[in-house]
Amino acid sequence: MPIISSAELQRRRQEIIDAARLCFARYGFEGATVARLEEATGKTRGAIFHHFGDKESLFLAIVSEDAQRQAEVVSRQGLVEVMRDMLNHRDENDWFITRAEIIRKLRTDPEFEERWRMHQEVLDQAVLERLRSNTALRDDVPLEVLHTYLETVLEGFIMKLAAGEPADRLDRMLVLVEETIRKGASASKLEGSGQADSEK
């Protein structure tokens, strides 16, 4: 039996992740059955679970990859820009429609919650580091409160995005969020075009 290189294994693994992301986006977490994952990836369940173990591990691999990508954006431009990227590239972020299902699962499945938090830690740390290094932020509230505020906005933003909220309305909301976390925020600035620099 020929030995498969690590590069080839990684390529196959990435193919499964990319196809499964679309499947989760279309059917949700529960609706993305093994049969549908097989159809979407063009792989047998044996091949899929050889790389990921089970459906939950496959889903968390997607979560981890996207959290890493988002963390890189956060470190350069801030969490609001991550949301703006979701808004401008919905086709690449459609799997976030599973968020409502995941929130329910986090409440009822402690083991899943632990694994989820582990994969989200890279994004959480990137947000905290960005907030710590940003001297333009308001200083009348603790950093932890700003962090919680932005996380809460992110959750609501994802729900609105999944529900089909108009893009222009969401974009203006992001401008409002940016203004509320900066020093010397002014309501008059909210009349802008929605293209304000993110968390500078």
- Domain 56-191 fold is Tetracycline Repressor; domain 2 (1.10.357)
**Per-domain residue ranges for the chain?**
56-191
pLDDT value at position 17? 93
Residue 147 in tokens: 């962090």
pLDDT value at position 173? 96
Cβ–Cβ under 8 Å, residues 16 and 62? no
Read off the DSSP letter of residue 187: G
Grade residue 104 by pLDDT with cuts at 50, 70 and 90: confident
Three-state helix/strand/coil letters over 4-22:
CCHHHHHHHHHHHHHHHHH
Residue 193 in tokens: 């075009």
Share of residues in the chain with pLDDT > 90 (%): 43
What's the number of CA atoms in the CB half-sphere (13 Å) around residue 142?
Answer: 3
- pLDDT tens-place string over residues 116-169: 888 889 888 999 999 999 888 998 889 999 999 999 999 899 888 888 899 999
The whole-angstrom separation of Cα 126 and Cα 123 is 5
pLDDT value at position 1? 52
pTM beyond 0.85: the answer is no
pLDDT value at position 118? 87
3-class DSSP state for residue 182? strand
